[in-house]
Structure 1
Amino acid sequence: MAYRFKKSSINKSGLPPGTLVYRGKERQEEVKITVFNYSNDDYLEEQDISLEESLTYKEKAGIKWINIDGLHNIEVVKSLGEAFNIHSLVLEDILDTDHRPKVDCYDEFVYFIIKLFSYDATEEEIDIEQLSIILGDDFVLTFQEKEGDVFDNIRERIRNQSSRLRSSGSDYLAYVLLDVIVDNYFVVLDEIGEGLFLMEEDLLLEPSQDILPDIQQVKRKMIFLEKSVWPLKGILNNLLKGDNKLFKESTTLYLKDVNDHIEKAIDTIQTFRDIINGMMDTYLSNINNKMNEIMKVLTIISTIFIPLTFIAGIYGMNFRYMPELESKLGYPITLIVMSAIVIGMLVYFKKKKWL
């Protein structure tokens, strides 16, 4: 089971606040912009449109959801920020893909940073992507590092005129995005849990040294996952405690439910960390037990040969007048005595359950 997390780092020291510098994996593909413009009666969906076309939706009626796949084109992020009056510090955080999850409340919008997990079953890899969500009065902007997400169900709900999304405001869309992201945490955690179960079985059946690096690797990644989710704990509660005009009272109840799911995800991650620590203890115990068994066998062998060595040492001395040296039965009697000692000691060890 292998988990790989790749991030690149660019030194921003010395730059003034609000300087737009992309920090993330280098990408060559074009930035993709998708727009949903909907109301209770109608909706419009446009895929892979230009920056200029997406900016025209600012003045249109209805709820606008503009999704950007790709942050490596700084000009796209900058232009959207200027069009929707987004503070430069927020744009700076959007481009910093190593940022910790948080919620910032401004007069005209609310800014969320949250981590999006995805699991590749073929490669057995977990990918962590930063997702930025900006909630305005009649719009939601989402910024993703790359194409591909877990929002297909939300798009289908927007296309369905009878869905609650079509008759709700932008705050409800922001809630649904957060809810789907958090629910997807459990999908990834279930995959991790299954992998831990298999590792635990292998550890109990055959505690080889090859499994130790896997345990250490999973332990490091669980720490990383916890760091990606833990900051979310209480963030929504703190948001709801404030007087935020962008969230209707009917939506706040759902946000509390999302916060409960976040706490459950954190509890699951901590449980997995405890399991991993237990696996490490089990591995060390198995190694110690195996070492003890080896030492036990060596000790028993040494104990058996101590009296035999004593007898052989006596009759190996070069004294001329030793009584048994001239006896024809001396050699077989000595072997019989030595064999009896060995058998007697083995019977005694068996009786004591040392064998």
Structure 2
Amino acid sequence: MRERRVPDLELVAQTEKEEEEEDLFDYFYDKPGSLPGTLIIEEDAAPSKIVLIDYNESNATRIHVVNPEDCTLYLDTESVSWVDVSGLGSEDILQRLGKVFDLHPLVLEDVVNVPQRPKIENYDDQLVIIAQMVMPKEKGDGFWIEQVSFVLGKHYLLTVQEEPQRDCFGPVRDRIRTNKGSVRKSGTDYLAYALLDALIDGFFPVLEDYGERIEELEDEVLRNPTRQTLEKIYQLRRELLALRRSIWPQRNAINSLIRGDSDLISPNVQIYLRDCYDHTVQVMDMVETYRELASGLMDVYLSSVGNKMNEIMKFLTVISTIFIPLTFIAGVYGMNFEYMPELKVRWGYFACWGIMVAIAVALCYFFWRRGWFNNFSTIDND
């Protein structure tokens, strides 16, 4: 990452926040006049690393590939070859991978120029799947979001990820290594399903965190709503919108896989993809529910602030009403006219105080009988 000198720490935090929001909501778009198939490599993109997992029912091999051309030997074998590329910072390696796998220039552009909208593209002997993966952050609230691209062939599956540090494919790798389940007994289409299913299941831990955040915000809104509470609700709504923009097109893409007529997806795997589609629908329902709850939190916040203001105004009204007659009496006897009748009375001072106290007590009793003192305790929560 480039080092920038900014004297104001608040400006740094604001800049980082704007960059995170840009990552959540922006899709990649070509500059006007650029050639089709142009690759845009980000300056801070991680170097590309290639890991090849070749397996069949009897054995599995994991290889760290240095030269993309070494993958050619595994593309036409009867075993399943999973070529996992992580990092988009090496243009030369990516271009060579495109030649090895005979990728169309527009496919390579969609894979490298991220983020793209999730979609399905069917070529003659390849099926391209663009998806988005989310993972909860280790520290703090929010989530990481990155693009994962699948290129499915008859005997191989090419996956390209943005970051090498994190993904949600660990359980699938373990099942291949330990030969659990049906993954090593099936073809590349089942492997693609397994990875897609793991990717969709990665949304659930993120949504669990948002459920807990919404519960905490509900308590905060009801007990002590502040300006920071409003900012938290606003940020929550934006992040949920980003989740919705990630899962909605993926639902349509998986539905296209189920209803498509590609020879690379067997009828047996289409049945499994139906279960994956059900998971996307479940994620969509949870996201929509949380968005409605977040919108409801905004209404509750406004109501709580309004009720709090009403209680404060009620308190000030009671104080003002009690002191109005007392101020009137004190004003009358503070005019210092010479022939005021009560000024020469021996017990006039004490009588004035008695009348003022009696009026204050009578007004307090009147307000108490009307229930105005019942909710004043909420004002002390600040």
**TM-score for both structures, normalised by structure 2:** 0.85
Q: Give yes or no for the alignment of 1:14 onto 2:6.
A: no
Partner of residue 93, structure 2? 76
Give me the whole-angstrom Cα distance separating, in 2, the residues matched to 1:331 and 1:160. Answer: 97
Partner of residue 216, structure 2? 198
CA change 1:25–1:120 in 2 (3 A) is farther
Q: Give yes or no for the alignment of 1:330 onto 2:331.
A: no
Matches within 5 A, 1:255-266: 255-266=273-284
Shift of 1:18: 1.6
Matches within 5 A, 1:188-267: 188-267=206-285
1:227-272 Cα distance to aligned partner (Å, 9 max, x none): 1111122322233323221111111111111111111111111111
Where 1:233 maps in the other structure, the secondary structure is helix
1:91-143 Cα distance to aligned partner (Å, 9 max, x none): 11111212111111222111111111111233444110110011111111000
Shift of 1:25: 6.5
Partner of residue 163, structure 2? 146
Partner of residue 368, structure 2? 350
Give me the whole-angstrom Cα distance separating, in 1, the residues matched to 2:180 and 2:320. Answer: 83
Give me the whole-angstrom Cα distance separating, in 2, the residues matched to 1:301 and 1:292. Answer: 14
Give me the whole-angstrom Cα distance separating, in 1, the residues matched to 2:326 and 2:30. Answer: 73
Give me the whole-angstrom Cα distance separating, in 2, the residues matched to 1:150 and 1:164. Answer: 19
Letter in 2 for 1:14: G
Q: Name the structure, 1 or 2, with higher relative contact order (CA <8 Å, separation 6+).
A: 1
CA change 1:264–1:44 in 2 (3 A) is same
CA change 1:25–1:253 in 2 (3 A) is farther
Q: 2:128 aligns with which of 88, 111, 119?
A: 111
Give me the whole-angstrom Cα distance separating, in 1, the residues matched to 2:355 and 2:291. Answer: 59
Identical amino acids, percent of aligned pairs: 38
Gaps of 5+ in 1: none
Partner of residue 65, structure 1? 82
Letter in 1 for 2:82: W
Shift of 1:90: 1.1
**8 Å Cα contact 1:112/1:133 also seen in 2:** yes
CA RMSD for the aligned pairs? 2.3
Where 1:113 maps in the other structure, the secondary structure is strand
Letter in 2 for 1:231: P
Q: Please say which of residues 78-87 and 312-321 is displaced more in the overlay.
A: 312-321
Where 1:210 maps in the other structure, the secondary structure is helix
Q: Please say which of residues 109-118 and 233-242 is displaced more in the overlay.
A: 233-242
Letter in 2 for 1:93: D
Partner of residue 316, structure 1? 334
Partner of residue 120, structure 1? 137
**8 Å Cα contact 1:5/1:128 also seen in 2:** no
Matches within 5 A, 1:124-139: 124-139=141-156
Q: Please say which of residues 282-291 and 67-76 is displaced more in the overlay.
A: 282-291
Q: 1:306 aligns with which of 321, 324, 338?
A: 324
Aligned residues: 352
Give me the whole-angstrom Cα distance separating, in 1, the residues matched to 2:74 and 2:305. Answer: 65
**TM-score for both structures, normalised by structure 1:** 0.91
Where 2:220 maps in the other structure, the secondary structure is helix
Shift of 1:338: 1.2
Letter in 2 for 1:298: L
Shift of 1:49: 3.6
Shift of 1:88: 1.0
Letter in 1 for 2:191: L
Where 1:116 maps in the other structure, the secondary structure is strand
Partner of residue 99, structure 1? 116
Shift of 1:76: 2.0
Give me the whole-angstrom Cα distance separating, in 2, the residues matched to 1:194 and 1:51. Answer: 45
Give me the whole-angstrom Cα distance separating, in 2, the residues matched to 1:341 and 1:126. Answer: 62
**8 Å Cα contact 1:55/1:80 also seen in 2:** no
**8 Å Cα contact 1:71/1:95 also seen in 2:** yes
